[in-house]
Structure formats: structure tokens, C-alpha cells
Structure 1
Amino acid sequence: MQKRKIGNLEVSAIGMGCMGFTHAYGEGPEEKEAIALVHEAFDLGCNFFDMSQMYSYFKNEEFVGKALKNLPRDQVVISDKFWPSKLPGEDFPDDKLSEKGLRTTLEKSLKLLQTDYIDIYTEHQMASDSLEEVAYIMGKFIQEGKIRAWGLSSPTAEEIKTAHAVTPLAAVQSEYSIMERKWEQDVIPLCRELNIGFVAFSPMANGFLSGKYTPGAKYEGDDVRRFISRFDPKIMQANQVVLNLIEKIAQEKGCTKAQVSLSFVLKGGEFIVPIPGMRSSDRVKENLGAVDFPLTDSEYKNLKEALSHIEILGSRSGLDIKKLGTVPENVSV
């Protein structure tokens, strides 16, 4: 597995997004099987594991803690995210984004993850009115050794500059894929300039770019694709032109559409690390195997040129997750 840098941390070129093991994509594998998948990814060279306290309200952190428990701690990079407002079961005498509130939040995450430190601690969603204060507190946690680095989720370029000036950022985590490229305008170039790693979540557009889902597919229960507009049957049909384009490249390279999609994200810069979900052994092998099918400069240029003539419909947002009913009304997304 190739390595990349997120700030000063060396990580696998492709990480594992752990959200789907407990949250947002319907019923996942049994815990024992899910832990085995994490270990399989590690054995194949993946050392970067991403989660959040918001995913299934702390159950995701608890799962990852169990999954990583028997792996060498110094050989894994834990990327965790804290939610800026109170979650069910949380009670803070002060504001959650105060030093006392964040310290309480961090200590709970450390306990659930069964570790003494978190490698990258990211503010999940933005609360820009407290940004400088949060950045200062993250600096204190770094000095104390509680975290090694910190990051922001889906910030604007200006928010990155503001936070980075107080405590240098190691990571920015935002949605980035062939279907969602708005960050190419300013955020990704800024990350390159400031030596900030860009962690790309939903690099396959919630699975759409794998080509494994049809307009007639049904999504039930805790599956956010029930509400993501890009999975509306009419929109899926309209976006088929994107899959056709990717399929042509996949056939030429002898790989899958998922691997082409991940290779597109990887080609954007050596500081970009996609974190696809992987809930079966086949997906672990397929996704991590994308590093073996890099896009050439001409393939990348031609693909971007072709995409510039296609109107891509649909999106995903925090409001989609809100519609699942798993986020309390008083929690902002």
C-alpha cells in the first residue's frame, strides 16, 4: 500500500471510512465480521481509520475501539470527529465548545476508543463563531499529547485560514468525488499551499459511482440513500452518462468503476486521501486495490474534460441524514 502525508502523519493512500459499520447505510455486518474486515484492511496495508462520535451516537467509536484493540497502536492512525453541539446523553454545565466541554468530550472518546490519544481530532460540521477558540483549545490538547493533530470538516477557505492561523491544521475532511468537485475551486488548492491533508469522504458518491445500484433499488431503515437526491430513480438515470464514461475507462484499464472513481480522487494530489466505506471482504480488496490502477496524466485530463460537458444532478447533505430521524431536532446539521 502506498503512503501519503496528512500534515506530518503518514497514512495509507486509501483509508477506511468506518461510519457504515454502525450508521447510515442500513444493517451492516455482525460485529465479529466487521472487526475481521477492519483487520483485513490493516493486513492489506490500510492504517487510516475514520469515525465520529455522532455516528450512531458513540456506538461507532465503541466499535472502532474494539476493532483496533488488538492491532499495534503505533501502526494505526485514528481519525475521530467531535460534534459541536450536544448529542443525546451529553450534559455540559458549560458550552460544549468551551475548553471544559471539549475536554469532557475528548476524554469520553478516548475511553470508547480504548486509547490514550487520537491522531487526528476533527470538528464535525462547522460552528464558525467559536472557530478561533476551538483552534486554541485543540492546540492545548496537542501540547498535552491527547491528540496529535486536528482538522475541520467541510470548512470554507476563509475558515481554514482563520483556524490555521491559531493552531495549524493537519486535515480538512469534505465530500469529494467525480460527482462533487466544488472544493477544487479554492479549498483543495489552499490545502496544497498550507500543507494540509484533504480527507475525501464519500469518494464514490455514497456508492453510486460503483455502478452496483440500479434506479429500482430499495433502501430501508437506517439508510441515508432513502433521502439522498442522487439516488432518486430519475436522477440516477440522468447521471448514467457518468457511469458510462467511467465504465469505458475501467474496461481500458482492466479494473472496476469503483477503482477508477477512487483513482480520480487520488490523482488530485499527493495530500488527498479518500476514505471509502467497505462492508465486505470483496469491497476491501477492490477499494484498496485502486492504488494499482492509477490514472495517467492524459487519462485524468481527458476525464476532467469529458466531465466538464456533463451536468451532474443530485447531491447529499447533512439535511439528508436529518431525514433519517436519527438526529434529534435540536442538533444542527
Structure 2
Amino acid sequence: MASAVKRVKLGSQGLEVSAQGLGCMGMSAFYGPPKSEEDMIQLIHYAIDSGITFLDTSDVYGPHTNEYLLGKALRGGWREKVELATKFGLKFTDGKGEICGDPAYVRACCEGSLKRLNVDCIDLYYQHRVDTRIPIEVTMGELKKLVEEGQIKYIGLSEASASTIKRAHAVHPVTAVQLEWSLWTRDVEDEIIPTCRELGIGIVAYSPLGRGFLSSGPKIVESFSKEDLRRNLSRFQPENIEHNKHMFERVSEIAARKRCTTAQLALAWVHHQGADVCSIPGTTKIDNLNQNIGALSVKLTPEEIAELEPFASADSVKGHRYGGLTSTWENSETPSLSSWSPE
């Protein structure tokens, strides 16, 4: 299968990835029960053959089962065809989330991920969430060692504030920052996106389809299983989704005019945000994957982008994107190195 997916450079250190990646979380965790391993390996291979070579996972997806899945999928010569990203730093104990950026933990997580993924080196290694108890410089110091030892190639951060990104980047270049960015999540545009661009850091947009809302609209809640994380998110609650459906309807009208799906329009909007941006929509179905790839061919005029702008304002969307479920960049500040002493 010939690849028609363009490539983009992430950061200033040499990492090049497909302009659209594949978020693998939903194959194993959080969005309902795990999917068939055989089907997901087939989907991953199909994505790679289609030119989607940037694969995103984490040790917390499962936990661990998603990394094992990718490890199996990348056997037999597939590893050489992809850019592989995984994450550390977020774990659940008795259902409660815990964040850790301690150097020994960082190293142990990396070693665990290498084994589960069955690889010698991780292309892009993210801190999944920022540990607010430990200076970011301490965590980055250990990640820098892992780069020097050849266990990881590039360092990333996820859900980090602008000041945290600057401090981390001063220790070792950050190649990419992963953040939630879509037509219905725009809070990163004020400080974080400009900071990344000032420092030459690539931007990886997760949940570019608004956790499925921008592809299915309010009816998506009917498909949530009891294990689905989204059942608990504020934006999907009855008191908010009735309001949020109006945004979906207005975006759908433009998509109909463009003769593309609402999902393709939403992804195209992300793709038009700059050559330093890569989106990583997740899917478990080949039909949806093909639709997502089709978004790369949807061209938006400046007038169409301007028309979409008011739909994506803060007033158009009700509910916090996470609520109290986990930390985000809004509470990612860490102690200063000078004021901190290890226990």
C-alpha cells in the first residue's frame, strides 16, 4: 500500500514522524473493555502500511497491556517502520491515580517499557504527568541520562505548563509536548503553544476529536460501556451535553458543505494549526482509521478557519475537559531546585 501521509519534524533534534499518528490507548484501556488482540495487531499493521507510522502508548494503558500489544505487533520487521512513543509517571493504585517523577522510578519505568515493547530503544519518551513534589530538573536529569545511554532517543512532556516546559528544556532539549488540543479544547493556545514554538518544541495533539464527541456528537454517550472513562467526564454529563450539541451541529453544517465528515473537519482544523503539529487520534476500527487519514486531504481556507473560530470559544463548550480526575498543565508547577531536598 503506497503511503500518501506527509511527514513532519517534531522539535529541533531530528525526530520526523507521520503528520498524523495513532493513539493506541483505546485498544486496551479507559474507553471500554480491551479489544481483540488479533484485530488490533491487524489495525496497527494496516495503519503502518497506510503511512501512519507514529504510534503512541503508555505504561499506564492497561496497565502495561497496551505496551505488550505493541511489542507483539512490531515483531518481524515492523519496528523499523515506526516512530514509537510511550510514557511513564502515571499509575493507579486501588483506583487512585498517583504521579511520580523520582529518578529511580523513571529508570525502572523505562526498563519495564523496553521489555514490554520488546525494543532496544524508545524513540520518544514522555513524562505522562508532572510530579509536583519533585523539581522538573531532577526528573529531566534522569531522562537526559537515559538519552546518553541510548535507551531513549528523544524526551517529551505531557500536560506541562509553560514555565515547567521552559525549566525542563533548560536541562535537556524537549522534543515534543503532548497536550489536549481540538476544536473544543483551546486552553493551551494562550501560553503553552507559544512557548513550544519559541523553544522549537514539536506539538502532539491528543484527543483531537474531543474524545469522540467531534465525530459522533451527543449520541456517543449511548455507546459508553460501564468501564468507559468518559462516562465520568463533565462535558458528557446530561446538563452539559445538551449545550455542547449545538457546537457539534454547527461544525456538522460546515462539514456537509465541505463534503467531508465532521471528524475529518475537526482533524483538518488541527492539521492546519502549523507544520510543527501532529495529531494522534485513536481508533479501533479500520474504517475510522481510513476516515482519519482522509482528513489530511481536507483543505481549509482562511475564511473557513475563521468561520470555525466562534464555535470553539469557551462559551460554546460547557464542562471542564477533565474535572477532578487527574492533573493537567494547570497544576503542573514543581518546587524550585534550590528549595528542594530529597527525602
Q: 1:307 to 1:40 in 2, by over 3 A?
A: same
- Counterpart residue number, 1:63: 69
Is the deviation greater in 108-117 or in 225-234? 225-234
Matched, 1:20 2:26: yes
From 137, 141, 149, the equivalent of 2:142 is 137
Question: Which amino acid is 1:27 matched to?
Answer: P
For 2:303 and 2:77, how far apart are their aligned partners in 1? 40
- Shifted more, 60-69 versus 150-159: the winner is 60-69
Q: Which residue of 1 aligns with 2:331?
A: none
CA distance in 1 between partners of 2:105 and 2:325 (Å): 28
Deviates more, 1:246-255 or 1:10-19: 246-255
- 2:228 pairs with 1:223: yes
Matches within 5 A, 1:134-213: 134-211=139-216, 213=218
Shift of 1:251: 1.2
Counterpart amino acid of 1:74? E
Q: How many residues align?
A: 316
3-state secondary structure, aligned to 1:106: helix
2:36 is aligned to: 30
Q: Which 10-residue stretch deviates more, 301-310 or 33-42?
A: 301-310
Q: 5+ unaligned residues in a row in structure 2: which ranges?
A: 328-343
The aligned counterpart of 1:99 is: 103
CA, structure 1 residues 246+105, in 2 after alignment: closer, same or farther (shift >3 Å)? same
Unaligned runs of 5+ in 1: 89-94, 323-333
The answer (yes or no) to whether the contact 1:224–1:320 under 8 Å persists in 2 is no
The question of whether the paired residues in 2 share the 8 Å contact of 1:224 and 1:321 is answered with no
2:28 counterpart of 1:48: no
1:81 and 2:105 matched: no
Cα distance change on mapping 1:250 and 1:224 into 2, 3 Å: same
Q: Secondary structure at the match of 2:219?
A: coil
Q: What is the one-letter code of the residue matched to 2:118?
A: Q
Cα distance in structure 1, aligned partners of 2:44 and 2:314: 39
Separation in 1 of the partners of 2:265 and 2:91? Answer: 37
Aligned to 1:111: 115
Q: Would the aligned equivalents of 1:3 and 1:11 in 2 still touch at CA under 8 Å?
A: yes
1:210-236 Cα offsets, whole Å, 9 max, x none, are: 125517615223201210121123322
3-state DSSP of counterpart to 1:298? helix
Q: Summarize the Cα distance change of 1:240–1:67 in structure 2 as closer, same or farther, 3 Å threshold.
A: same
Give 3-state SS (helix, strand or coil) of 1:174's partner: strand
Determine what percentage of the aligned residue pairs are the same residue.
37
Distance 1:114 1:66 in 2: 8
SS in 2 for 1:217: helix
Cα RMSD for the two superposed structures: 2.2
Q: Deviations over 1:39-87 (max 9, x none)?
A: 1111110000101111111111111111222343232111100025686
Provide the C-alpha distance between the structure 2 equivalents of 1:218 and 1:278, rounded to a whole number of angstroms.
Answer: 14
Q: Which position in structure 1 is the counterpart of 2:287?
A: 282
Change (3 A) 1:55 1:215: closer
Q: Hey, what's the Cα distance between the residues in 2 that align with 1:318 and 1:111? A: 34
2:136 is the alignment partner of 1:121: no
Q: TM-score, normalised by structure 1?
A: 0.89
Supply the distance in 1 between the matched residues of 2:326 and 2:231 (Cα, whole angstroms): 10
Whether contact under 8 Å (1:86, 1:96) holds in the other structure is no
SS at 2:222 equivalent: coil
How far is 1:269 from its partner?
Answer: 1.4
Q: Which has the higher mean CA deviation after the structures are superposed, 187-196 or 62-71? A: 62-71
Q: What code does the residue aligned with 2:109 have?
A: T
